[in-house]
Structures are given as C-alpha cells and as structure tokens.
Structure 1
Amino acid sequence: MLESALTEEARLALERYGGDNASKTLLPLWRLFEGFLQARGALPAAILNIPEESLRAYANYLDYEDCHIDDALVALSAVLLVCLHVGYSGKSLRTIVIPRIRRPVENRQWDAFRLRTYQPLESSQLARSRRRRAKREAQVADRKHVNDAVS
C-alpha cells in the first residue's frame, strides 16, 4: 500500500519517538486525520504546513462525531503528538482542545483534577447548595456557641 507524504512523515516521527509500537498504535489514528483533511480539500505537502484551523476543525469534528469522549481525546492526542514531534509549536498545540471538555475541575475528595465533560444536573447543583448552606449555618452556630461559653 502506497503511503502519502504526510503519513510517511508521521511514521518517521513516531518511530523516532517510540519505535514500532508507537507507530503501530498511533498511525491508524493519524490516517483518520489525514482522511479528514482529504475530505476538506487538498492535502498539504508537509505536516508543518497544516494550518491550526484544520487542527481546530478536527477537534470540533471529533466532538460532534458519534463517538465516546475518551476515543475523541485519544484520536486528537495522537494527531497533536505527531505534530509536536515533527516540530509544530507546542504553544499553539496547547490551545487546540475538544470543545465539550470545558476545563480541569478540582476533585476535592482526592485533591486531584478530573475533566468536566458534561454539565452537572440541576438537582445536584441544588443539593450541593443546600449542603453548603447547612455547613455555613452549622459553623455560625458553633461560633455563637463558643462565644456564649467564653462570655
């Protein structure tokens, strides 16, 4: 099977990065991106000639395609990894995200971060505000009780 110039460049970058395993794993995801580029028009001559707008459009396409968010993240990450190892600017690649993922949200229970991929339900927001209100009222009552005991 004859590879395009973009696929050949991506394969060489992946082999430099992680050997044959990286190439076997990530190259099919790159080919999906290349198919997306072909559907939008002519393929660029080199990976560095791919405009940022095409990468952003691919992120939007993955967001609205009928696939799980984790699969979309892996596909976009593979494309961005190839671009990074070819010499694309890391600063510009950091701004390319799948729109459905808003931002990292602190998980207070574990002091870690998780990605918010959905809007919380209104009922959970109401329950959370009730818990916060009850906690504040308990703290105020405790302070009042301590102040009364001291006086």
Structure 2
Amino acid sequence: MPESPLTGDARATLNRYSSKRAVETLLPLWLQFEDFLRSHSLSPASVLDIPEDTLRAYASYLDHRDCHVDDALVALSAVLLVCLLAGYNGKILRGVVIPRIRRPVENRQWDAFRLRTYQRLESSQRARSRRRRAKREACAQDTAHADNALM
C-alpha cells in the first residue's frame, strides 16, 4: 500500500532532522495520528495544513482512550515533534496538552504545572524533609540567640 502524502511529508521531515532509528520509532506513532485523522474524515495535504483544533482533539482522544498515561504522552509528543520540525508554530504546539494529565495545581512557591499522575521520587522527598528540618533548626537557633541577647 503506497503511503499517503501526509505520511510522506512526515517521513521527509523526520529524515531531515533525525536519525534512522528515531524515524523508525516516531513514524508508527505518526501513523496512529493519521488513522485518527482518517476516522474523522480529515485528509490534510501536508503537516502544516493540520488545523490546531485537530491537534487538540487528538490530545483529548488520547486522554479518553484506555491506555497508560505514558503511552498517551509519548504518542502526543511524537506528533507534536513532527509538527514542530515541519515548521508548525511553536506557540500553538505548547498549548496542545492532554487535559487529564497536565493541569494547574497550586504551589506555595510558584504557579506551575505538574503531572498529577506521577509521585515524587523517594530520595527527593527525603532531601526536601532534610531541608525543612535544617530550616526549622536554624530558625530555632536564631530565636534562642535572640532570647539570650535580650537577657
């Protein structure tokens, strides 16, 4: 079966910027995206002709599919990488996220995005506890020195 013009465009883009092994890894994920396009009766002529709404719809589709979060992230990342290498606007691509996975969460220090499905590493938690304990001890020592100075 001959490959579609869209797959040919994606293959040419990947060959231009990536190694052969990267092309072999990313192209099957691109073909999944192309199957999604066909199922929605869309057939853009090139990568740059893919509407932004279609990329967002694909991200939502990955969100509702019954697959692991990591698989959904990798599939979307592969499609976005091909689009970026083809010359798609990077500002648009930054806004295409899987809704369930990436969401704003409040943080005391800064407003940031965090993957809600991942746990902090155990070593990271221990390091954070050590820093907190050190701050508490330093604060307690400063208070004790201040009390001694007043007497």
TM-score range relative to shorter protein: 0.7 to 0.9
Quick check: 30-39 or 60-69, which moved more?
A: 60-69
1:117 corresponding residue in structure 2: 116
2:148 corresponding residue in structure 1: 149
1:88 corresponding residue in structure 2: 88
SS in 1 for 2:3: coil
1:130 corresponding residue in structure 2: none
Q: Give TM-score, length-normalised by structure 2.
A: 0.73
SS in 2 for 1:102: strand
| Count of matched residue positions in the alignment of Structure 1 and Structure 2 | 133
Contact 1:103 1:116 in 2 (8 A): no
Measured against aligned partners, the alpha-carbon deviations of 1:113-143 in whole angstroms (never above 9, x if no partner) come to 99422499xxxxxxxxxxxxx9999777655
1:44–1:116 CA distance, 2 compared to 1 (3 A): same
Measured against aligned partners, the alpha-carbon deviations of 1:82-119 in whole angstroms (never above 9, x if no partner) come to 1111111112111111112225999xxxxxx9942249
Q: Which runs of 5+ in 2 are unaligned?
A: 120-132
CA distance in 2, matches of 1:62, 1:140: 48
CA distance in 1, matches of 2:142, 2:19: 63
1:64–1:81 CA distance, 2 compared to 1 (3 A): same
CA distance in 1, matches of 2:53, 2:148: 66
CA distance in 1, matches of 2:86, 2:105: 28
SS in 2 for 1:11: helix
1:4 corresponding residue in structure 2: 4
Q: Percent identity?
A: 49
2:65 corresponding residue in structure 1: 65
Q: Which runs of 5+ in 1 are unaligned?
A: 107-112, 121-133
CA distance in 2, matches of 1:17, 1:10: 11
1:98 corresponding residue in structure 2: 98
1:131 corresponding residue in structure 2: none
CA distance in 2, matches of 1:34, 1:137: 55
Cα deviation for residue 148 of structure 1 reads 2.4
Measured against aligned partners, the alpha-carbon deviations of 1:34-84 in whole angstroms (never above 9, x if no partner) come to 111111123112211110000011111111211111111111111011111
**Root-mean-square deviation over aligned CA pairs:** 3.3
1:87–1:69 CA distance, 2 compared to 1 (3 A): same
SS in 2 for 1:67: coil
1:144–1:18 CA distance, 2 compared to 1 (3 A): closer
